[in-house]
Structures are given as structure tokens and as C-alpha cells.
Structure 1
Amino acid sequence: MELDKALRISAAGMAAQSTRLRIVAENLANRDSTGDTPGADPYRRRTVTFAEKLDRETGARAVRVSRVGQAAGEFPRRFDPAHPAADAQGYVKTPNIDSLIEVMDMREAQRSYSANLSVLETTRGMLSRTIEALR
């Protein structure tokens, strides 16, 4: 049944975007965290990678989270010689998180989640009307 495929595809999209929103929230929550010891690395930004999966039962292709990884790159440093994590020169490594990028990722994930929810609700309504017509 094609409506069943639509439900599964939109549910998979919602699950993937939900994971993405959770990772963005973690990144934003840790944007000010630092290491505990001199020269220690702070929180590293996490990223979500999507992949296509085939639902063998329905033959539908849907999205899934293939990997939650860490962003590469250097940590920004700020001068704060009084901080417990300051190195010998007085610099503290800070997380490689840009709040603007995280907010943009969050908005995109919210919109994708909302679009999938709309498809789910529309499909559910079509199923309900079909059942009513068969009575």
C-alpha cells in the first residue's frame, strides 16, 4: 500500500531530524565548556551524517542517521591566565562551536521535521477518509 510507504518515509525523516535536533542542542549546551586541566581539549562539536536506507518490507527508500561524528579542526583559544585549563602561555582552548551555524542547523532540522509531520498528518487523514468510504 502506497500510503503505508508514505507513513514510513515521513516517520524515518522525523526520527532522523529529531536526532539532529538533539545533537544541535548538545552542541549549544556545551559551547562554553572547557577542559579541566592545563592544555586539555574542550568539548568538540558533534555532527550528524545521513544516509539512504531501503525498507525491504515496503520497498521504500528513507533517510536514516548513518553516523554521529565529531567535527575536525582546531580549537579557538582565548587568553585567560586565571582559568584552571590555561596553558603555560595563559590561553584556554574553547569548543569549536559557532552558535550561528548551530542555530541555522536547528532551523533547518525544525523545518524538515515539520514537513515530515505534515506528510504524516495528510497521509493519516487520507487513510481515515478511505476507511470511512469503505464502511
Structure 2
Amino acid sequence: MSMLSIFQVSSSAISAQSQRLNVVASNLANADAVAGPDGQAYKARQVMFQSIPMGSDATVGVQVSDIVQSNEPSRKNHQPSHPSADAQGMVTYSNVNPIEEMVNMISASRAYQNNVEVMNTAKTLLLKTLQMGQ
């Protein structure tokens, strides 16, 4: 693996984790959303990753292959006085689990930070290699 491949692989991972963080932020923003007029509540979304070849030297990067909706059922609470309550007094909320989303956010943030550190280390090694030739 060449040194330039390290930058390609890490940048692909940074891009993928950035998309993951955006999806987590969207999920958290809609954690307490109620169903709209159509009766459908916000569904949590999850990012699916896929490995991709990065060049002729058998390096593999990552990309977002899809963003899928969760199949978990929506939360229902009995609140007859709520304006969005149905005939039985039930209010449908999104199926976002804020605790799981916070764990996802921390995981994505750490992965992002780790890949930035890989790039910084590779940059430092390249600079030291150039200084050896002086």
C-alpha cells in the first residue's frame, strides 16, 4: 500500500462517517416527533456501509451504500387531550431511540477522529521522510 492510498482510504472513511453523523443528527432531531396528518410518524434511519476498491494496489475504502428506515414499531402513548391523538386517544411518536442514537453518534465521531489521526500520522511520516533527504 502506498502512502497516498492511506489518504484515499481515510478520506473515504471520513466522508462515510460524516454522512452517518448527519443521519444520527436527523434521527435525534425527530426523536419526539408525532405522526403527521397522514398518520405516519418519522422512522429512524440507519446508514449501510459498503467496501469499495480504491486503486490498483488492492486497497479498499468505504462508502455509504444505502440509508434504510428502521422496522421498529412507532411508540404510542395514551394522551387523549393531545391535538394529534387518534379516536382511541393514542398519539403516535417516532421510533427513534435517543440512547441508541447517542451511542451511534459517539461511535461515528470516534471513527471520524481516528481517521483524521491516521491522516495526520501519515502526513508526519511523509514530512520526516522528506527531511531525511536533506
TM-score for the superposition, normalised by structure 2: 0.92
Residue 97 of structure 1 aligns with which residue? 96
How many Å apart are 1:58 and its aligned residue?
A: 5.0
Output the CA distance in 2 between the equivalents of 1:63 and 1:122. 20
Output the CA distance in 2 between the equivalents of 1:82 and 1:58. 64
Runs of 4+ in 1 over 6 A off after TM superposition: none
Residue 15 of structure 1 aligns with which residue? 15
Residue 64 of structure 1 aligns with which residue? 63
Whether 2:49 is the aligned partner of 1:54: answer no
Whether 2:4 is the aligned partner of 1:4: answer yes
How many Å apart are 1:114 and its aligned residue?
A: 1.1
Unmatched 5+ stretches in structure 1: none
Output the CA distance in 1 between the equivalents of 2:57 and 2:41. 44
Residue 133 of structure 2 aligns with which residue? 134
How many Å apart are 1:22 and its aligned residue?
A: 0.8
Output the CA distance in 2 between the equivalents of 1:85 and 1:40. 9
Unmatched 5+ stretches in structure 2: none
TM-score for the superposition, normalised by structure 1: 0.91
What CA RMSD, in Å, does the superposition of the two structures yield over aligned residues? Answer: 1.6
Give the SS at the match of 1:130.
Answer: helix
Aligned partners of 2:34 and 2:84 also within 8 Å? yes
Aligned partners of 1:54 and 1:62 also within 8 Å? yes
Give the number of equivalent residue pairs.
134
